Amino acid sequence: KQEVTQIPAALSVPEGENLVLNCSFTDSAIYNLQWFRQDPGKGLTSLLLIQSSQREQTSGRLNASLDKSSGRSTLYIAASQPGDSATYLCARTSGSRLTFGEGTQLTVNP
């Protein structure tokens, strides 16, 4: 059973658009929720880490929120740019285990 689900699997938007990526998880007893970015053939870069006691984190044009009661997290990207094109993964921590979703492949068209 998929423990972490990301919707949509792929997203294509024009440059400048604001967008939201979704992540849902089945286990509400999480400790942390992280969002990562992965460029093709590369490793992952941590974008935002939300502790379980927090509700959101912001970094530049990125804002991530966490709603443990509904088992959801969203990553909001403002004023998207072609350089934002990548796969975005969310991962939740429960106990000592980090569980990843399959990712959303984002393409921002110039």
Partner 1 sequence: ETGVTQTPRHLVMGMTNKKSLKCEQHLGHNAMYWYKQSAKKPLELMFVYNFKEQTENNSVPSRFSPECPNSSHLFLHLHTLQPEDSALYLCASSQDRVTEKLFFGSGTQLSVL
Task: Give me the least distance between CB of 71 and partner 1, in Å please.
Answer: 17
Can you tell me the distance from the alpha carbon of 43 to that of 41, in angstroms, rounded to the nearest whole number? 7
Return the amino acid letter for 87: T
* x-or-dash string of contact with partner 1, 52-81, rule CB under 8 A: ------------------------------
Can you tell me the distance from the alpha carbon of 14 to that of 35, in angstroms, rounded to the nearest whole number? 22
Binding residues among 8-47 for partner 1 as defined by CB under 8 A? 31-32, 34, 36, 41-46
Whether 53 contacts 63, CB under 8 Å: no
Binding site for partner 1 (CB under 8 A): 4, 31-32, 34, 36, 41-46, 49, 89, 91, 93, 96-103
